[in-house]
Amino acid sequence: MDIGKAFSFPFEDDEWLTKLLLGALVSAVPILNFAWTGYSIDIMRNVIDGISLPLPDWSDFGDKFVKGFYIWVAGFIYTLPALLIACLPLGLLLIPATSETSNTTEALASVFTGIGIVFLCLLTIYLLAFSFFFPAAYINFARKGTFGSCFEISEIIKIVSQNTGKYLTAWLVSIVAAIVVGIILSVVGTVLAAIICIGWLITWVVSALGSVYLFAIYAHLFGQVVATPSLSVVPTEE
């Protein structure tokens, strides 16, 4: 994998600032931000197809919106078990509150506190597994473009198992990148916020650009997992 390429590729596009600024604007608007997710899918698809300049333009906005919406729905479905795991302990905590004796209440509270810890561990494990495997669903969707492809478990597992080294690298680098970019944005935001009147606006722009840049890195890294060997194809004009 070319990790450095994932960080530098946006700036190789002559229109990178315009494209990322539009991305920042779109990503900041609720509901409309599905289109940015769709845009990142197009980035991933371009990397998979070996296009030398993976940043797409902003034509076919509706198509990008639909793609992003599909991915959001798929992610929501995958996280439903996590929501169930998170809600069950809350329901169990109501049982001690209905007990009439203090001794019974204390005993039940101890038991359900232990159960709550177990559920918390299960929730952590599930969310960790989700963060690891969901990018493979993302990849499968980028390749096939159908909502059902997000749930082709055998294909998703195959993407991971057949590209374990590259996939694990992409996953770990994306986590490290998120931490590093988050720290940088936090520091820069603190400094810029001190600017009178327009500090908040500059901070918002920088934060939004940082977020879309991070998502672009994510798309490029996981696109490389199943990419064609050579990134030499020139994108066609739409």
pLDDT digits (tens, 9 = 90+) for 12-61: 999 999 999 999 999 888 899 999 999 999 999 999 999 988 999 998 89
Residue 233 phi/psi, 5° resolution? -80, 135
Measure the CA–CA gap between 124 and 219, rounded to whole angstroms.
24
Total of domains in the chain:
1
Residue 154 lies in a domain: yes
Instruction: Give pLDDT tens digits for 151-186.
Output: 999 999 999 999 999 999 999 999 999 999 888 888
Residue 230 lies in a domain: no
What is the model's pTM? Answer: 0.81
Q: How far is CA 99 from CA 89, 96, 104, 116, in A?
A: 17, 5, 7, 18
Residue 137 lies in a domain: yes
Domain span at residue 97 reads 3-225
CA dihedral 11, 12, 18, 23 (to 10 degrees): -70
Measure the CA–CA gap between 231 and 224, rounded to whole angstroms.
10
Measure the CA–CA gap between 220 and 47, rounded to whole angstroms.
6
* Residue carrying structure tokens 């302990």: 89
